[in-house]
Amino acid sequence: MKLLFKQRLFSWLDSYDIYNEYGETAFTVEGKLAWGHKLEILDPAGRHLGTVKEEVLTFLPRFALYLGEEYIGQIKKEFTFFKPSFTLDCRDWQISGNWLEWDYQVTDGQGRTVMTASKELFHWTDTYVMDIARDEDALLCLMIVLAIDAAKCSGGD
């Protein structure tokens, strides 16, 4: 499954439209007023699916992940000099990125690719293309990319 992740150009809070490979809206993301980033993910009908919430008062960016109202884990940025590094504490997945912070890969415990995400250049807003191996992982993969993008905005290095 491919998803195109586009930040809306004119929005006071973080908000994004997520499209599938057919150009149809797969998800919408609405930023909410809170200490730190709080991103609520909705299906095309407007039903709440999950939340990515920044935990404040931490040395480096850290985000709690919720499916519906249930906490499922967290993603946190690690201190590194050359390559971005994130730790994800759910599903035994690993995240690696390139030194430009444009391309990311998520792998499972056996080393199989779960998702790749690449930032597209020459757009007015943040735009990522996500290639997800299994459709049922799309929501969690979206949460990961949202957290990474928000961590970059938080200036966590």
> What string of DSSP letters covers 116-136?
EEEEPSS-SS-EEEEEESSGG
With 50 as the cut, is the pLDDT of residue 157 above it?
A: no
What is the rounded average pLDDT for all residues in the chain? 85
With 60 as the cut, is the pLDDT of residue 29 above it?
A: yes
Query: What's the pLDDT tens digit per position in 81-106?
Result: 766 678 898 888 989 887 666 799 99
Tokens of 59: 């040395």
Contacts of 19 (CB under 8 A, 6+ apart): 3, 4, 6, 25, 26
pTM, two decimals, is 0.85
Higher model confidence: residue 122 or residue 77? 77
Residues 9 and 123: their CA atoms lie apart, in Å, by 10
Residues 17 and 2: their CA atoms lie apart, in Å, by 14
With 50 as the cut, is the pLDDT of residue 20 above it?
A: yes
